[in-house]
Structure formats: structure tokens, C-alpha cells
Amino acid sequence: MSVIRQPEVLGRTTRRRVVGVTAALSATAVETLAVGLWFGLVIGPRTTSTALAGLGILFCGSLLRAGVFGMTVSDDGDLIQPRRLGAALLLTTGWVVWLWVAELIDGVPGLVVATVVLVWILVVQFSVERRVFRCRITPQVADAPIGPALLLAAGAATLLVSAWFVEWTATSPALSLGVTSFVVWIDALHLGVFVFVLFSFLAHQHRFQRLLNP
């Protein structure tokens, strides 16, 4: 009854949800592109040039994702501040450390340990990002953002599993389109990227929902 009597409350809630979903989609797109390109460059045999290129792409993506977060939860979207650059650098470092730990230990133990490490790095990074952009901290959002960190780390683990442990490919029969024929080809890495995108969206949507609806 209170919502019916005060339709502006429903309007504010709807706007916040739309903003949250839009921001989550934007953050997911940026993160998927940056992490995906970096992962593709460094997951196999790498050179100094590919490693540096991947690192640059990853940092730019982290900076853009921080920009999406800042524009969504704060009126001040200026990223060129040491603390905000530090938040983007922390995220970049988290991804690099995740892959380094996985490769250092190797195998399933490496995957497990690296995923746990990534969870805690993301918890710290999300908390730092929240404070850097001066989000209003209420009792509802004061807890450590473990849920979003778990979701994003699970997506990353799936991506690594699809690249390291699963050799699966499916192709369709040749399809004709006029004078052109083509084949649809799907492998395990494609599915890994899809799961990463899904989990990344869920993680960011959860973050924005809690911050925009305190």
C-alpha cells in the first residue's frame, strides 16, 4: 500500500535497478574484453612483447571498469587520482598473480590455490574501490564483498579449466548460405568465456544492487 500511495518510491527503485543492470553489463563487457585479450595473449607460449601488451590491455580494462564503477556510484568520475589509479592497478595485479600462482603450482592444486588467492585479492580490491570512490557505507553494505569475489573467481577458474584441462570441440555440418558455406565451431574455451561472462555479470550486478539500494 505504501508503494501505491507513493509511486515515486517505485520509480526510484526501478531507476536504480535499471542503472545497476546497465552498469553491470558495461563492467562485464569491459572486464571480459580486457581479461579475455590478456588471457589469450599470455596463456600459451609468451614473449616479452606479448606479456607487456597483455599487461597494458589488462590495466586499461581495469581503469575503464573502475570508471564505470565510479560513474555509477559517485558524482566524481575523475579517474586521474593516485588512489583511483591504485585501485585499477590492484585489480590488474590480482589477475596477474592469479595466473602466476596457477602456473607456479600447476595442475589442479594450482587451480585451487590460485582461485582462493584471487577471491581474497578481489575482496580487498572491491573494498578499496568502494572507499576510493567514497561510496556511502551502510550496515547493509559494510560487510566484505565476498559474494561478488567468489562469483568472479569461479568464472575465472572455469576459464582456466577450459584452457588447461578440457579438450572438446563440436562442429556443425556445413551450412549453405547462397553461394557461401560455413561451419559453426565451438570448443571448450568458448564455453569457458561464456561462463566467465555470466559469472562476471552476476558479480557486478550483485555489487551495484547492494550499493545503489542501501
Mean pLDDT of successive 10-residue stretches along the chain, which has 214 residues: 42 76 92 94 86 93 89 68 83 95 93 96 90 62 77 95 85 70 78 94 90 72
Judge whether 4 lies within some domain: no
Judge whether 97 lies within some domain: yes
pTM summary value: 0.85
Q: What's the structural domain count of the chain?
A: 1
What pLDDT, on the 0 to 100 scale, is given for residue 9?
46
Determine the Cα–Cα distance for residues 63 and 68; give it in Å rounded to an integer: 9
Tell me the pLDDT tens digit for each residue of 85-106: 888 899 999 999 999 999 999 8
Judge whether 78 lies within some domain: yes
Q: Residue 24 in 3-state DSSP?
A: helix
Cell of 169: 570441440
Residue 40: which domain range? 10-212
Judge whether 193 lies within some domain: yes
What pLDDT, on the 0 to 100 scale, is given for residue 4?
37
Considering only CA atoms, which of 113, 114, 117, 141 is closest in space to residue 127?
Answer: 141
Judge whether 126 lies within some domain: yes
Judge whether 115 lies within some domain: yes
Judge whether 207 lies within some domain: yes
Are the C-beta atoms of 186 and 170 separated by less than 8 Å? yes
Judge whether 176 lies within some domain: yes
Cell of 127: 573494498
What pLDDT, on the 0 to 100 scale, is given for residue 169?
78
